Amino acid sequence: MTYVSLVRPRWTDMDVYHHINHASMVTLLEEARIPLLFNDAVKAGLTELPKGIVVVRLEVSYKAPIVVTGQDIRVDIDLSQLRAASFTLGYRVHSGPSETDPVAVTAETVLAPYDTVALRPRRLTQEESEFIKRGFADA
């Protein structure tokens, strides 16, 4: 299933052409996944996952510009791969808040849990893996 997040671009996210710039788009992708991977993880009793998740790889493809209009944009997020020490999320960013608004950006991130004490990546626990699967299955 698809996890849906609505994020609102800010005026400062625009470039000189009034489009959302690349760095801001990456931040909006992050803001779209935070409610599930941090807030919902804490509610589920997971204490370590929200403390550290790092981006291992990021790929962003632009189909059309997104113009800041003051409305939310819809970000559809799918779990495309779950491994022992990483997981991959695929994103479809619409130009507006509706699923019928055109997809303007597609992206993919590979994320890994990070041990903030040992300062190194770590494996997902069984509970974390189940939470991630369930978060996208229940969406």
CB 2 within 8 A of CB 72: no
pLDDT value of residue 138: 67
The average pLDDT across 117-137 equals 93
For 3-137, which CATH superfamily applies?
Hotdog Thioesterase (3.10.129.10)
pLDDT band at 115 (very low <50, low <70, confident <90, very high): very high
**Which of 58-68 are b and which e, b meaning 16 or more Cβ less than 10 Å from the residue's Cβ?**
eeeeeeeebeb
Reported as type and span, the H/E element at residue 61 is strand 53-62
**Which residue in the block uniquely carries the two structure tokens 């962003």?**
60
pLDDT band at 131 (very low <50, low <70, confident <90, very high): very high
Domain locations in the chain? Answer: 3-137
The average pLDDT across 96-114 equals 97
CB 72 within 8 A of CB 65: no
pLDDT digit string (tens) for 53-98? Answer: 999 999 999 999 998 888 999 999 999 999 999 999 999 999 999 9
Residue-wise DSSP of 35-51: IIIIIIHHHTT--SGGG
pLDDT band at 14 (very low <50, low <70, confident <90, very high): confident
Query: Checking phi first, is residue 92 left (phi over 0); if not, alpha (psi -120 to 50) or beta?
Result: beta
**Which residue in the block uniquely carries the two structure tokens 């303007």?**
104
Task: For residue 115, give the nearest of 52, 42, 54 by alpha carbon.
Answer: 52
The average pLDDT across 24-51 equals 93
Which pTM value belongs to this model?
0.92
Residue-averaged pLDDT of the chain: 94
